[in-house]
Structure 1
Amino acid sequence: MALLAGALAFVLTLGGAGAMLYALQDRLIYFPDVTPPPPPALLGLNEIRETRLRTADGLSLLAWSLPAATDRAPVILYLHGNGGHVAYRAERARYFARQGWGALFVEWRGYGGNPGSPSEDGLTEDARAGLASLRAAGIAPSRIVLWGESLGTGIAIRLAAEQPDAVAAVVLESPYTSLLDLAHRHYPLLPATLLLRDRYDSLSRIPAVRAPILILHGARDGLVPVEMAHRLKAAATAPVELHELPNAGHDDIATWGGLDAAAAFVGERLR
């Protein structure tokens, strides 16, 4: 009886934890800085202009736009990760500017003073609005590079799979196979399959991507294991380069030369 009572208590405790996880899962996935970012000029980003994106579901979203140095230079559609807001990527904007690239930094709904709440479908709409904005500006698909950072890699893969002829290349920085796989890894006792709403199932979508892909991943990534990058590479049908950085973790790809590897890839693919 004592053993049965103990097992029942464990199940009830696990069930309570599962219910809490289901109710609060958005807080475990999305970590927005909800305050509006400072004007780019205050950060020394004099080339950057603030612009607005209109989503299909009626939101008006802040975005940062960096003009390309020439009308043939690559243009990056940048989809950032789950933390902070667009101003946290100021160094990335400076790097792109030094390359002479254009860029559109999509700011997610619920981030950086934007209306709405983040979700997988919502962020996908935001990315679609960014791609539509580049099209409306006359940017040819042969110049557009989809660049996903961490959580944003799931959106980049989904968008490239949905619109396979809309971009010339895809860069995936610290990608994962799916959030469900990550949940099983980090919360092994919880029934994540039943609880998780936003799945970001990149592994099932990447075979539909036609554009060449570069994967940047740190071998010391403690959040997303590098074996997930290898699984994505194996599942892809498009040409894939995997650049594994032996000293990098999850958030310091740039520190260990990842951006230079991406610049070489973009230069080769969009030459």
Structure 2
Amino acid sequence: MAAFTATCCGRALKMVVFLARLVFQLLAVYAVVLLLVYVCQRSLQYFPDKNHPGDPKESAAPSMREVELRTEDGLTLNAWFAAPVKRDGKIVVMYHGNAGHIGHRAVKAQHFIDKGMGVLLVEYRGFGGNIGSPSEQGLYKDGRAALSFLEKQEYANAQLVIYGESIGSGVATQMAYEIQPRYLILEAPFSSAAAVAKKRYFFLPVDWLMKDRFDNIDKIGGIKTNLLIVHGDEDSVIPIELAQMLYEQANHPKEFITINGGHHNDLYDHHAGHVVTEWLEKQIAAEEPAVKPEE
């Protein structure tokens, strides 16, 4: 009996030691994963197309021209610009989403150009042939460089429509927080980049790891503007509920338009361009003084 008990205890002890070693090895692997994610996270967060976008005259917005933006930290970035038909017309400052470059957004820009508005397609560091590497603070500097360019061209803040797509919604929200424009349009935005990461990497301590958080939801309440959010109800990249959370924290006047059947990158294929320009024209018409009829 004693021998049997000793054998059972010995086996149990070996099992405990084995499990302890296994747990330790798994924790060690998990720690290595955490370290790699922390060190390499920006390569997981940003997907720039580093190729130069080419000549805007050969794009879907041929009236645009290439201009240079100079950032506060000394970078020179290429961008595309089309002036408004009227000197005091609106200018849509477009901060594009992740992946690709400004050339891929020319179709969107043309929707506004067709309405007589100006458009500045802002290219980020590390994207579209630009030097540098993207980061949250870096993209904010790029965003400010765009506003500085327009200021030097003597366009007033009252003329600006700040437009942000996907990760560009983080840049647009920050710029709107800083300059308080009359109009802010967010296409497929998130409450924060961390909220998106939590859904995708639920097994990681995102709050502890993430550097570039783009906390839109912490800023939106400090923005007093006419806000439009458009989001696809089938967006699997940034779920629509994250945009709805952002909308709930925003000030009035505001409007949320759901693009039925829209995914993350195809909203303009579902007539979002028409929806957005129609909304914007309506807002602009409302701000213009009524013309008294002749007696």
Fold match by TM threshold 0.5: yes
- Are 1:251 and 2:253 matched, yes or no? no
Q: Secondary structure of 1:177's partner? A: coil
- Are 1:13 and 2:40 matched, yes or no? no
Q: Which residue of 170, 191, 214 corresponds with 2:228?
A: 214
- Post-superposition offset of 1:44: 5.5
Range with bigger deviation, 215-224 or 230-239: 230-239
- Are 1:23 and 2:39 matched, yes or no? yes
Residue identity matched to 2:267? I
Q: Secondary structure of 2:162's partner? A: strand
TM-score computed with the length of structure 2 as normaliser: 0.88
Range with bigger deviation, 57-66 or 252-261: 252-261
* 1:1-271 matched pairs, under 5 angstroms: 1=16, 2-43=18-59, 45-164=61-180, 167-271=181-285
Deviation readout 1:193-231 (Å, 9 max, x if unpaired): 121110100111110111111000001000111111111
CA distance, structure 2, for counterparts of residue 238 and residue 12 of structure 1: 50
CA distance, structure 2, for counterparts of residue 257 and residue 215 of structure 1: 14
Residue identity matched to 2:47? F
Q: Indicate if the aligned counterparts of 1:32 and 1:111 stay in contact, CA closer than 8 A.
A: yes
Residue identity matched to 1:137? Q
What is the number of residues matched between the two proteins? 269
Residue identity matched to 1:11? L
Q: Indicate if the aligned counterparts of 2:60 and 2:110 stay in contact, CA closer than 8 A.
A: no
Rg (Cα) greater in structure: 2
- Unpaired runs of 5+ in structure 1? none
Residue identity matched to 1:192? V
Q: Secondary structure of 1:190's partner? A: coil
CA distance, structure 2, for counterparts of residue 184 and residue 159 of structure 1: 25
TM-score computed with the length of structure 1 as normaliser: 0.95
CA distance, structure 2, for counterparts of residue 256 and residue 134 of structure 1: 31
- Post-superposition offset of 1:58: 0.9
Q: Indicate if the aligned counterparts of 2:125 and 2:133 stay in contact, CA closer than 8 A.
A: yes
- Post-superposition offset of 1:189: 0.8
Residue identity matched to 1:26? R
Identity over aligned pairs, percent: 33
Residue identity matched to 1:175? P
RMSD, matched Cα: 1.3
